Homo-oligomer: A and B are copies of this chain.
Amino acid sequence: MSQQQPSDEEARERLIDLAAQFYDQFEDGEIPRMEVPTRSKSNIVFDEDSGVWVYGDRTSSRTANSVRGARKLLKGVYTIDFLAQQLDEDRSSTLRELYYLSESWDEEAAQFSDQSESDKLVEDLEIVSGVKREDFHMRPEESGATLMGPLKLREQTRRGERVIHCQEDVGEGGYQIPNNPDTIEFLDTDADFILAVETGGMRDRLVENGFDDEHNALVVHLKGQPARATRRITKRLHDELGLPVTVFTDGDPWSYRIFGSVAYGSIKSAHLSEYLATPEAQFIGIRPEDIVEYDLPTDALSDSDQNALESELDDPRFQSEFWKEQIELQLDIGKKSEQQALASHGLDFVTETYLPERLTEMGVL
């Protein structure tokens, strides 16, 4: 998938091209079909060069040689028609609206039977057309992450341009990242690095303590597993402004996966890795070694924590010396810890001691 954002007109053309293929196939006496990379775990490989997940070479055919297959293509054509019209009118919609909207289509066989069917079709169209959902103007249900730090940007909204400084022009809540951050242009920044933070409590702590101001950090709130918009803006800040990306999460296997999705992409959206993943991202912690070194309050690992850690030992994204050592240490001590557990050394420990020490060690400060 190209990293460049296609214009609405280009996105529309690529969709129409897809539909046009079916016509060409009809004309040539062929049964209409669409080739899609096989989207199973067995066809997803970790690309060592780019450092992200990508699809392998296997493809599957969606073909009209059965009633079921023909119906799938019909739904595809109706969806393409809807998306092309949406782009033409500069509208947008959510995945759920698309599902409900199909009930208004005249051809009943083209209507979706549940939302997972329409969601999957949109992903197929993303992959085959090489155009991202955002460029079809399809929004997610929720985004909601925020950004705070020395960055001035211009957002293109439906109501005109907005120039916003993400410290001076926002309240304590910060700047709300829009659903499609490709509508943003970065104007000016004093930032030295990006600090992506898992929990709201820690994000608020950093902002209250003025960490973004003192260290010229852009504090991005991940809100647990980050939305596409959050990963996208993080990647763009890295690529376009040359800012190092650091990720600060709880110290448990689920949080390591949050780091993994920022850095390497996810199996579920391997077709978007080049667009969303930042392989250069570095993990700050909480590291299992921190639990020992800083004597943090802990909880015992549950069975599912242990299983998740063991499966990470086999995960190609976690094959570095660093991760093997940390995961084995954690299995050994049998404990996990949260980022807010640093408060056991006082409310300022995280901003005055832990982060400055770790970021200096990592060469970021």
Contacts and interface: CB of A to CB of B under 8 A. Distances in A.
A92 B144 CA distance: 23
B159 A200 contact: no
Contacts of A179: 172-173, 204
Contacts of A205: 93-94, 97
Interface string A153-191: 001011100101001111111111111000100000000
A146 interface: yes
Interface string A189-225: 0000000000111001100101001000000000100
A62 interface: no
A341 B162 contact: no
Contacts of A210: 158-159
Contacts of A204: 92, 94, 139, 179
Contacts of A93: 205, 343, 347
Interface in A88-123: 91-94, 96-97, 100-101, 103-104
A343 B141 CA distance: 14
Contacts of A96: 201, 338, 340, 343
Contact of A223 (B144, B171, B200, B347): B144
Contacts of A68: none
A75 B167 CA distance: 38
A148 to B, nearest CB: 10
Point out which of A168, A179, A208 has the most chain B C-beta atoms below 10 A from its C-beta.
Answer: A208
A142 B91 contact: no
A237 to B, nearest CB: 16
B171 A100 contact: no
A176 B178 contact: no
B173 A94 contact: no
Interface of A: 91-94, 96-97, 100-101, 103-104, 139-144, 146, 155, 157-159, 162, 164, 167-179, 183, 199-201, 204-205, 208, 210, 213, 223, 297, 338, 340-347
26 contacts: A93-B347, A94-B204, A94-B205, A94-B340, A96-B338, A97-B205, A97-B343, A100-B338, A100-B342, A101-B344, A103-B297, A104-B345, A142-B199, A144-B200, A155-B172, A157-B172, A158-B172, A159-B210, A170-B176, A171-B176, A172-B178, A172-B183, A173-B175, A173-B178, A173-B179, A179-B204
